[in-house]
Structure formats: C-alpha cells, structure tokens
C-alpha cells in the first residue's frame, strides 16, 4: 500500500495515514471485510515508526471504520457506522460526511426503526401536560431508581405483556442499557466472567469488556446458548436474549430455558442477564414470555428498553434486579442519583398510562408485520440460492447463500447496485473464526414498502451476476 506522506505538513504523519485510509474506506476502495496490512508491514513500507501506524489504526478503530481482531489483524468494518454516527465539527479527528458519498440508496440496516409513523402529536401532548402549571417538583432531584409511578407502570406492562414477575422496587430506570450495564457491573462486582452467545449484540459485549469483565464466547446450537459449553466455560454470569436472539433470531425453547435456570441454580452467585430488547415485535403465534417469569430463585436480571419500541434517542432503559442483587445495590450503590430527567420520566409515564404506548405498539406491530411479510414474499424469488431465517419476529431477517458465497462478496455486489446489507461476521466474538460466513442481515424497519420491493429486486440482480 502506497500512501503519499508530506513530511512538512502541519498534519502529523499518523493523521495523514489515518485520513488516507479513511478516504479509501469511504470510497469503497477498501471494501468491508478487507484486511489492512499489519502495522509493522505498513510502517516498513512507509518508512515511519510503528507507533505512527499504530496510532493511525487506533484512530480508525475508535471511529468504527476498522476492527481489530486479536491474533488476526485489522479488518474494514461495515459502513453502517458512517451513517449512524454523527460527524465531528472540527479538529484533527474530523469525520466529514461528503454529500452522497458512502450513502446507499436502499439501506437494510438492522438497527433502524420506523419513525415515519411515530406519534409526534401524542408526544407533544404528554410533554406539554408534563410542563404545565410550573411544577417545581419536576425540576427537583427524584428517586435514585427512577420515579415510583413510572416504575409501577413499567411493572404493570412487564407483567401483562412479558410475564415478568416483580415489584416496582426491583426496577431501576437508567439512561440507556449501557449505563445500566455499568451499574450492574458494580452490583455484580468487578472482573466477573461473563458468557455471551456468539454471534451476539456486539455493543453489550464491548461495554462489558471495557468494564474489565472476562468475556467468554459460547457456541450456539439451534436452541441458543449451549449449556454444556457454558458449564465448561467456568463463567458465572450468562448474557442471553431468549425471546429473540440478536442477530440469529433464535427463540430459545422452554427446555433450554429450564436448563439455563438449573445451571444458574447450581451455584451461589450465578446469574442470567436476560436482554429482552425487541420482544414487542412478533408476527406469528403467541408472544413468548420472558425467562424472568420462569425464575423462582432470583437468578434472572431482566433488561428492557424503549429504544426499539419508542425511539433510540429517548435514552431510557430499565432493569429488574432479583432481590439478592437489589439488596447489594441498595447497600452499596443506592446513593447514585437517577440518570434520567424527571420530566422525561413523567413524559414516558404519561405515554404508558394514557394508552398511547399500547396504541403505538399495536400500530407499529401491524406496520412492521406488513413490511416483514412483503420482504418474505419478495425473498421467495431468491429461494433457489438463498435461505431465510430469523423471520416472524424483530426487525430483521438473515439471508444465507446456499452456494456458499462469502458475506463479503454479497455485501460488495449489493453495494455496486446501491444497496447496503450487513455481514453477520461483525457480530461474532469468537477469538478464532475459521471461515467467512455466507450470511447477511436485512433490516427492514426503516424502509418503505416500495424500498423493500426495489431493494430485493436489486439484490436479485446483484447476486445473479
């Protein structure tokens, strides 16, 4: 790789390297999945010190352009990050967004949600009501765990919609699931060995790893986390998504759930973290109750969020602590103030108890089901070459090449037609990964029905060539 470097430039050498690589990634010259030369090789070829290339790579990793895979090297990441992360205004770490560049015409992002049908009027109304009458108390410090009334409303919703059994006092409301994981890490005590399915929700993995947890990936079978491997891993906490595993879409069968609960019950201090991130959306059969509802021994930490069901920027999540952990929290961490403003809590409280939330969920479920059904019917035309799974729930499906085409090829071919699909491999946390998967994720929440139709049309063309 030749990168033209200016010795006399006001920009540091590492910045020049970083800028050059970034541009190539954004242009697609370096495609998703490409492996970059090692920092040593690049340093030698450019005649700079290795710390210079290291800094450039670190910056690319920090900004989500590139991923460091231990023992393997640096790989160009999916371009999704470029769209969802906001650009900086100024300074050496600028991430400019040129108009049109790096933008797909049709983006099957698995992280999008439909905001065209957001109940803006209802939101404005509950906000207005919350701020009426100069309520002083809205601006005063509230309860550390969150407003009692909102916690009670969440408890009621969780009980009827998810089969979660808890009291309002077990609920902690926080500014997003990442903050709640930070708090939970303190409750569990630092340095815990935590098992996660692989592939999994990488963001939770990153948070827990950055907090110093000893993360172990566990193989999955068609029922989800394999309890034999979990047992062998010597982990004492397992993070699972039983209702709809991300990204595989696997629904954990009842027998596996019971096995997990038995595993947790066999030792003091073992816990299950149940991430129930998108269970609101299910398009077939009865809703699947939460694992927490089966737990009679105080072993399940239930985590929920309004990011999918209301909106990501709301920044409100909650967790339900089993009693033994609640006691630890109160004793050692009860002094932490709530991270969610009292006004926002009241807005959500009114949204829930005023019937808006239920109406909104019902409406969105119908809209998403219609998009889902359209997507599946369109995918039929690819069924000779591709297999669909993870359907009938959530906001994305998986598509696997029956001919063993690589994920990278699928992404690159789609990209040439202006369609963005997402590789499964970015969700893996295995240290060693033998071969590139042949699977991509197709999210449909943020697309119109026309876009879905056209997108699949284009994918058909892209992958036939």
Q: Considering only residues 170-199, where is the footprint of a second copy by CB under 8 A? A: 175-176, 178-179, 182, 186, 190
Provide the minimum distance between the beta carbon of 264 and a second copy in the complex, in angstroms, as a whole number.
23
339 is a contact residue toward a second copy (CB under 8 A): yes
State the nearest-atom distance from the C-beta of 58 to a second copy, in Å. Answer: 5
By CB under 8 A, what part of segment 279-308 binds a second copy?
A: none
Q: Considering only residues 2, 7, 255, 313, which one is a binding residue for a second copy as defined by CB under 8 A?
A: 313
CB of residue 285 to a second copy, shortest distance in Å: 30
Part in contact with a second copy (CB under 8 A); list of ranges 100-108, 209-217, 294-302, 351-359:
209-217
Least distance (Å) between residue 106 CB and a second copy? 18
Which residues, listed in sequence order, are joined to residue 69 by a DSSP beta bridge? 73
Closest to a second copy by CB, 323 vs 359, is 323
Question: Minimum distance from CB of 333 to a second copy (Å)?
Answer: 6
Closest CA to 52 of 3, 15, 101: 15
Taking CB under 8 A as the rule, does residue 309 contact a second copy? no
Residue 105 three-state SS: coil
Are the beta carbons of 184 and 172 closer than 8 angstroms? no
Nearer to a second copy, 29 or 333 (CB): 333
Residue number, 195 or 204, with CB nearest to a second copy: 204
Binding-site member from 123, 239, 246, 392 for a second copy (CB under 8 A): 123
Q: Which residues contact 52 (CB under 8 A, 6 or more apart)?
A: 13, 14, 17, 43
Smaller CB separation from a second copy, 124 or 402: 124
Q: How far apart are the first and last CA of the chain?
A: 29
Q: Which two tokens stand for residue 126?
A: 């509950």
String of contacts with a second copy for each residue 127-156, x by CB under 8 A: xx--x--x-x-xxxxxxx--xx--xx----
Query: Phi, psi at residue 306, to the nearest 5°?
Result: -100, 10
Whether 417 and 461 have beta carbons less than 8 Å apart is answered as: yes
Query: At closest approach, how far in Å is the CB of 386 from a second copy?
Result: 30
**Binding segment (CB under 8 A) for a second copy, from list 34-42, 279-287, 324-332, 412-420:** 324-332
CB of 115 to a second copy, least distance (A): 4
Minimum Å distance from CB 290 to a second copy? 21
* Contacts of residue 270, Cβ cutoff 8 Å, sequence gap at least 6: 236, 237, 263, 264, 299
Residue 340, classified by CB atoms within 10 Å of its CB into exposed (0-12), middle (13-18) or buried (19+), is buried
Nearer to a second copy, 263 or 306 (CB): 306
Q: Which two tokens stand for residue 108?
A: 């099957």
- Rounded Cα distance between 51 and 39, Å, is 8
What residues between 63 and 92 interact with a second copy by CB under 8 A? Answer: 63-64, 84-91
Which range binds a second copy by CB under 8 A, 32-40, 273-281, 340-348, 408-416? 340-348
Q: Where are the alpha helices (DSSP H) in 278-405?
A: 323-328, 342-353, 356-379
CA-to-CA separations, 160 to 62, 153, 290, 309, in angstroms, rounded: 42, 11, 11, 16
**What is the Cα–Cα distance from 171 to 320, expressed in whole angstroms?**
5
Using CB under 8 A, which residues numbered 346 to 385 contact a second copy? none
330 binds a second copy (CB under 8 A): yes
Among the listed ranges 312-320, 349-357, 360-368, 372-380, the one in contact with a second copy (CB under 8 A) is 312-320
| 214: phi then psi, degrees, rounded to nearest 5 | -90, 100
Applying CB under 8 A, among 49, 203, 258, 448 the residue interacting with a second copy is: 203
Distance CA 131, CA 342 (A): 11
The answer to the question of residue 311 lying near a second copy (CB under 8 A) is yes
Q: Which residue has the tokens 């927490």?
A: 292
Q: Compute the distance between CA of residue 357 and CA of residue 438 in angstroms, rounded to an integer.
A: 38
**Residue 267 to residues 237, 271, 278: CA-CA distances in angstroms?**
11, 9, 30
Supply the minimum distance, in Å, between the C-beta of residue 436 and a second copy.
24
Residue 2 or 313 having the CB closest to a second copy? 313
């Amino acid at each position: 790789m030749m990168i033209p470097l200016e010795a006399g430039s006001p920009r540091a050498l590492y910045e020049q390297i970083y800028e050059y690589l970034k541009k190539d990634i954004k242009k697609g010259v370096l495609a998703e999945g490409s492996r970059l030369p090692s920092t040593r090789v690049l340093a030698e070829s450019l005649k700079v010190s290795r710390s210079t290339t290291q800094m450039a790579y670190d910056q690319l990793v920090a900004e989500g352009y590139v991923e460091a895979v231990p023992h393997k090297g640096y790989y160009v990441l999916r371009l999704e990050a470029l769209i969802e992360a906001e650009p900086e205004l100024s300074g050496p770490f600028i991430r400019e967004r040129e108009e049109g560049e790096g933008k797909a015409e049709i983006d099957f992002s698995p992280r999008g949600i439909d905001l065209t049908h957001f109940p803006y009027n209802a939101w404005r109304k509950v906000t207005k009501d919350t701020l009426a009458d100069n309520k002083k108390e809205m601006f005063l410090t509230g309860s550390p765990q969150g407003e009692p009334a909102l916690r009670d409303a969440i408890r009621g919703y969780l009980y009827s919609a998810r089969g979660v059994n808890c009291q309002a006092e077990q609920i902690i409301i926080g500014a997003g699931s990442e903050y709640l994981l930070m708090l939970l890490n303190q409750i569990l005590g630092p340095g815990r060995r935590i098992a996660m399915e692989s592939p999994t929700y990488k963001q939770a993995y990153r948070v827990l790893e950055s907090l110093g947890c000893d993360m172990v990936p566990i193989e999955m079978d068609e029922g989800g986390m394999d309890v034999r491997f979990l047992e062998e891993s010597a982990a004492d906490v397992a993070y699972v998504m039983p209702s709809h595993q991300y990204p595989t879409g696997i629904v954990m069968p009842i027998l596996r759930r019971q096995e997990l609960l038995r595993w947790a019950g066999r030792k003091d201090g073992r816990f299950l973290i149940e991430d129930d991130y998108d269970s609101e959306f299910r398009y077939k059969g009865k809703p699947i109750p939460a694992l927490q509802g089966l737990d009679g021994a105080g072993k399940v930490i239930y985590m929920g969020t309004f990011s999918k069901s209301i909106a990501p920027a709301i920044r409100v999540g909650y967790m339900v602590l089993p009693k033994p952990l609640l006691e630890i929290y109160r004793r050692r961490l009860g002094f932490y103030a709530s991270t969610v403003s009292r006004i926002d809590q009241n807005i959500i409280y009114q949204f829930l108890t005023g019937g808006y939330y239920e109406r909104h969920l019902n409406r969105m479920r119908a809209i998403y089901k219609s998009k889902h059904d359209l997507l599946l019917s369109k995918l039929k035309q690819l069924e000779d070459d591709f297999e669909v799974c993870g359907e009938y729930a959530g906001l994305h499906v998986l598509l696997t090449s029956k001919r063993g085409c690589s994920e990278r090829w699928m992404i690159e071919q789609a990209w040439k037609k202006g369609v963005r699909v997402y590789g499964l491999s970015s969700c893996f946390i295995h240290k060693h990964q033998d071969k590139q998967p042949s699977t991509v994720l197709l999210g449909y929440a943020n697309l119109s029905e026309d876009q879905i139709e056209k997108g699949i049309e284009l994918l058909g063309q892209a992958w036939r060539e």
